[in-house]
Amino acid sequence: MNEDDYNRALSGDKNLSGVDLSNVDLSGFDFSEANLTGANLRESRMVGTNFRYADLTDADLSNVNLFNSVLVESKLYRVNLNGANLTGSFLNGADLSYANLTGANFTECSLAKTGGGYAHGAGSQFGFTIDGARLSYAKLTKTNLTNADLSRTYLDHTDFSNAITEGTDFSHAWVENEEENAEEKYDDKEDDGKHDELRDYLNILQIDYEELSKNKSEAWNEIKKQYRELIAFYHPDQFESKGQMKKEYAEKKTKELNLAFEQLETYYEKM
């Protein structure tokens, strides 16, 4: 810990980029709307600390005790939460994209955006986002992951026991303990390379290949309906007031959806 940095935090200074507040008790501190980008907070005790709307991009919170803390709508992009304790914390609407959550404890954490949320292509709220995050050996028992975006995450040996995952997006997630079943799951004996490709594009549209109608016309209608709902939800204009990072994510998602739809359209025309 740097004593000057600690005194700045104690005085209520909100511009705390790059500070060293490691190995110190910051329980109950109010860091709401603070700029903590690149801050060193490792090994600190932060029970009941308020990080609402704070920017902790690239911050080091490894082995931090965040029990019952509030990180609602916080920016935790590329944050290091390796071994952190977030039991009972509130991360509603937080962005943990590309964060390191290895060994973190999210037991009974609240992660879903309250007051509604995106489910099955409908809704107006942007939920908890951990696109590309590493959750190796993370513990998310009894965690509410409703409508959360866990796409492209590393979920090897992650504990989701008794977690609520309604509407959760696990598309393209990498799961080590399922790796041995990957060939059976994604490459059935009667499927060729085209069917594997089809499954990938359907996953982007959050459509389960196994549940899709085998009737060509009905299946195409399902795909078009899902595409329209998703493209409307992720339209960048919907995220103008939600920050640049979320707008950029929506733009990226829109491109993915358009590409997948174009490929599926070509596929069904040739069926």
42 or 201: whose pLDDT is higher? Answer: 42
User: What is the spatial distance between Cα 99 and Cα 215, in angstroms, rounded to a whole number?
Assistant: 42
Question: How many angstroms separate the Cα of 146 from the Cα of each of 115, 150, 153, 215?
Answer: 12, 11, 16, 31
Q: In terms of C-beta density within 10 A (0-12 exposed, 13-18 middle, 19 or more buried), how is residue 185 classed?
A: exposed
Q: Half-sphere exposure of 251 toward its Cβ, with a 13 Å CA cutoff? A: 8
Q: State whether residue 122 is helix, strand or coil.
A: strand
Rounded mean pLDDT of 93-108?
Answer: 79
Mean pLDDT (the chain) is: 77
Residue type at 249 in one-letter notation: Y
Q: Is 58 in contact with 40 (CB distance < 8 Å)?
A: no
Look up residue 161 and give its two tokens: 């026991």
Residue type at 219 in one-letter notation: A
Among 58-72, 100-114, 183-197, 256-270, the minimum mean pLDDT is found in: 183-197
pLDDT tens-place string over residues 117-167: 222 222 223 346 665 666 766 777 676 677 777 766 777 677 777 777 777
User: What is the spatial distance between Cα 271 and Cα 263, in angstroms, rounded to a whole number?
Assistant: 13
Residue type at 183 in one-letter notation: E
Is the pLDDT at 100 greater than 70? The verdict is yes
Asked whether the whole model's pTM tops 0.75, one would answer no
pLDDT of residue 136: 65
- pLDDT-derived band at 187 (thresholds 50, 70, 90) equals very low
Q: Which fold does the domain 187-270 belong to in CATH?
A: Helix Hairpins (1.10.287)
